[in-house]
């Protein structure tokens, strides 16, 4: 059954609304449950019914484009301004900052490969741990962090080098497999399409879109991680909490100007790292507390 799109026309940003149950992250939830939202504000209400998937969502959004949330620009600009004065881990240790810039010693291919490795290590891992693991690989792999050095070392050694990151064993396997695929099928470079990147083991949509932006300087889509997913739902910019980050990406891309697709990720990731925490968000310090439907003190 396809996703059903409905819209409400009530006030979008009330000064205070009931924070709906669906605003809380619930990892045990699944698409098999109908999602409803009780907030008394205008929002894009997407109900994903039993047995549905998000695969048809993009087509539905194309056919019936949602109205951008009222006041979204005001909220966006307030968070952007606030973030200028708040340094978050993502600003210094985010994946887009970990690769070496191309130089006399670093080829563009190696720089892109390092970006891919950084992204692959980053899932379920804090930025400072990812940064330390990337640095470890730089120092311990023969010839530094590049595709050939990953292929040369055995998986156990690779696993030891990245042992602090989440799911390191699986990631060591994925790194070896991805490096082999890049060598054999992409002439030693990384794929230059989202589809190609997602065919690499362990690479999902978030990594693929971020990789296209950072490694290939191509703005193909929004990188939606847990922070972007959580915060945009709290702000009422989408109602996809239970449907997952891919549904969030599709909804955001349906109305957010393309020029913002790249910057929204680090902006909201840093906001989530410093203020809009998964639990106990610092709403009293928040620059958009008067406009956020999920504010709580
Ligand atoms: S910190 Fe609180 S008020 Fe600010 S965006 Fe998050 S939930 Fe809303």
- How much distance in Å is there from the Cα of 166 to the middle of ligand 1? 28
- Ligand 1: which of 227, 234, 268, 274 to mutate, most ligand atoms within 8 Å of CB? 234
The class that CATH gives domain 89-215 is mainly alpha
The answer, yes or no, to whether residue 15 has pLDDT greater than 90, is no
Distances, alpha carbon 245 to alpha carbons 74, 231, 233, 249, 273, in Å:
23, 11, 10, 6, 18
Report pLDDT for 9: 22
* pLDDT cut 90: percent of the chain above it: 76
Rounded to the nearest integer, the mean pLDDT of the chain is 85
- How much distance in Å is there from the Cα of 102 to the middle of ligand 1? 39
Domain boundaries of the chain, sorted by first residue? 4-86+229-285, 89-215
Report pLDDT digits (tens) over 189-208.
999 999 999 999 999 999 99
Summarize the confidence of residues 11-27 as an average pLDDT. 31
Place of tokens 């010693």: 105
Who wins on pLDDT, 26 or 256? 256
* pLDDT cut 70: percent of the chain above it: 82
The conformation of residue 125, written as its DSSP 8-state character, comes to S
The answer, yes or no, to whether residue 23 has pLDDT greater than 70, is no
The answer, yes or no, to whether residue 1 has pLDDT greater than 60, is no
Distances, alpha carbon 147 to alpha carbons 20, 99, 252, in Å:
47, 13, 34
Contact 245, 226 (CB under 8 A): yes
The answer, yes or no, to whether residue 237 has pLDDT greater than 80, is yes
Report pLDDT for 53: 65
Contact 36, 22 (CB under 8 A): yes
Report pLDDT digits (tens) over 52-66.
567 778 788 888 888
Predicted model pTM: 0.82
Distances, alpha carbon 73 to alpha carbons 34, 36, 65, 184, in Å:
30, 25, 18, 45
- The catalytic position among 171, 176, 206, 250 is 206
Report pLDDT for 62: 82
Report pLDDT for 49: 42
Nearest atom in ligand 1 to the alpha carbon of residue 275 is 1
Report pLDDT digits (tens) over 209-232.
999 999 999 999 999 999 999 999
Who wins on pLDDT, 27 or 178? 178
Distance between the two ends of the chain, CA-based, in angstroms?
39
- How much distance in Å is there from the Cα of 204 to the middle of ligand 1? 28
- Ligand 1: which of 75, 270, 283 to mutate, most ligand atoms within 8 Å of CB? 283
The answer, yes or no, to whether residue 268 has pLDDT greater than 50, is yes
- How much distance in Å is there from the Cα of 294 to the middle of ligand 1? 6
266 lines ligand 1 (CB under 6 A): no
Q: Is the torsion defined by CA of 136, 161, 133, 219 positive or negative?
A: positive
Report pLDDT for 19: 33
- Ligand 1: which of 19, 235, 278 to mutate, most ligand atoms within 8 Å of CB? 235
């Amino acid at each position: 059954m396809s996703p059903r799109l409905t819209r409400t026309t009530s006030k979008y940003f009330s000064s205070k609304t009931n924070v709906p149950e669906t605003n809380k992250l619930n990892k045990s939830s699944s698409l098999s449950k109908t999602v409803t939202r009780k907030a008394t504000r205008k929002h894009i209400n997407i109900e994903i019914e039993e047995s549905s998937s998000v695969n048809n969502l993009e087509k539905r959004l194309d056919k019936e484009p949602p109205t951008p949330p009222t006041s979204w620009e005001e909220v966006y600009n307030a968070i952007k301004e606030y973030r200028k004065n708040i340094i978050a881990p993502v600003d210094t240790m985010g994946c887009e900052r970990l690769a070496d810039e191309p130089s006399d010693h670093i080829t563009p291919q190696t720089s892109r490969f390092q970006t891919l490795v950084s992204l692959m290590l980053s899932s379920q891992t804090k930025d400072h741990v990812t940064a330390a693991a990337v640095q470890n690989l730089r120092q311990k792999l023969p010839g530094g962090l590049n595709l050939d050095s990953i292929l040369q070392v055995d998986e156990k050694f690779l696993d030891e080098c990245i042992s602090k990151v989440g799911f390191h064993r699986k990631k060591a396997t994925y790194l070896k497999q991805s490096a082999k695929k890049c060598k054999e099928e992409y002439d030693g470079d990384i794929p230059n399409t989202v589809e190609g990147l997602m065919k690499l083991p362990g690479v999902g949509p978030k990594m693929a879109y971020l990789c296209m932006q950072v490694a290939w300087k191509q703005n193909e889509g929004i990188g939606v991680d847990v922070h972007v997913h959580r915060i945009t739902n709290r702000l009422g910019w989408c109602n996809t909490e239970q449907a997952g980050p891919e549904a969030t990406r599709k909804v955001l891309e349906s109305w957010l100007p393309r020029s913002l697709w790249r910057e929204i990720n680090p902006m909201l990731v840093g906001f989530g790292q410093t203020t809009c925490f998964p639990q106990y968000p610092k709403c009293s310090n928040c620059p958009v507390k008067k406009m956020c439907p999920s504010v709580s003190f």
